[in-house]
Structure 1
Amino acid sequence: MSTPLEPTMVETIKGYDAEKRFKYLVKEVVTNREIWILIDEHGCVMLNTDDEDCVPVWPNKEFAEAWATGEWDTCKAEAISINKWHSRWTHGLEDDGLAIVVFPNENEDGLVIFPDELDFELKQQAKKSK
């Protein structure tokens, strides 16, 4: 379970570029052992890029909830344990041909990667953290 972020820290992190937000997400997910998605009555929220259908993920509840506005105001932030992510989500997303948009900001700007790439980065960070 993660500790709530201070509002000043949230604002600082919002200013990060996509690459820096990706690195932050990897560290936070490994430290807190959870990754955040948004869900609605149909399941996981999806985004579409020109090339890919994507599942957006966030490192902290605060950032996921910040996206639950406008057309997504009925969505809820949900944590997925890192173990469940590795055992079910990575393969499930790959099987469905879905990509991941990492920690998108208000402009829907985020790094688009494949599930196995995120899985690899999370495992590498876990090795460093030991």
Structure 2
Amino acid sequence: MSKLMNKNELQSVLESDGEERYDYFLSQVLEEREIWILVNAENRFLKIVSEDGDVEHLPVWPSEAFAAAYGKGADDLTPKSISLPDFFRKWVPGLTKDGLDIGVFPGLDETLWITEPEELKRDLQDEMSSF
């Protein structure tokens, strides 16, 4: 169980740029062995579509606290964890088939690291092998 972060820590991570958040995401996920998404009352996962409708992505977070903070203000969004093996085995192929990218760890700024599921899987596996 990871230690709970105080508000300042949460804030400082959220204020870092997309690339820093991506690195933070990789290290946290490897430590906790899970990825967090937001789901609604019907257990459908939150999907974000760009304004021009060209890009659809699944936002993911490294911890429940960050997912919950993002979902604040939306009535029916709840953080849900996906184990890393499940993510690799089920989600990556499913998202790839649906043509969905992954938005890694949305923060407070406008930058977001959007990546293909296979690429995120590769990055995580590379990190694991150097762990």
Give yes or no for TM over 0.5.
yes
Runs (5+) with no aligned partner, structure 1: none
Give the conservation status (yes or no) of the 8 Å contact 2:15–2:109: no
| Structure 2 counterpart of 1:18 | 18
Q: Equivalent pairs: percent with the same residue?
A: 32
| Structure 2 counterpart of 1:114 | 116
- Provide the alpha-carbon RMSD of the alignment: 1.5
Give the conservation status (yes or no) of the 8 Å contact 2:17–2:109: no
Name which of 32, 48, 56 aligns with 2:59: 56
Give 1:107 shift: 4.7
Supply the AA of the counterpart residue of 1:65.
A
TM-score after normalising by structure 2: 0.90
CA distance in 1, matches of 2:15, 2:108: 11
| Structure 1 counterpart of 2:79 | 77
Note the alpha carbon deviations across 1:1-60, whole angstroms, 9 max, x for none: 443223221121012100110111011101110010000034100111243111000011
Moved more, 8-17 or 113-122: 8-17
Runs (5+) with no aligned partner, structure 2: none
| Structure 2 counterpart of 1:65 | 68
Give 1:108 shift: 5.5
Report the secondary structure of 2:130's partner residue.
helix
Report the secondary structure of 1:44's partner residue.
coil
CA distance in 2, matches of 1:25, 1:7: 18
List aligned pairs for 1:29-40, cutoff 5 A. Answer: 29-40=29-40
| Structure 1 counterpart of 2:47 | 46
Note the alpha carbon deviations across 1:98-125, whole angstroms, 9 max, x for none: 0011101245641111000100011011
Moved more, 55-64 or 100-109: 100-109
Count of paired positions? 128
Give the conservation status (yes or no) of the 8 Å contact 1:37–1:79: yes
| Structure 1 counterpart of 2:94 | 92
Give the conservation status (yes or no) of the 8 Å contact 1:2–1:60: no
| Structure 1 counterpart of 2:28 | 28
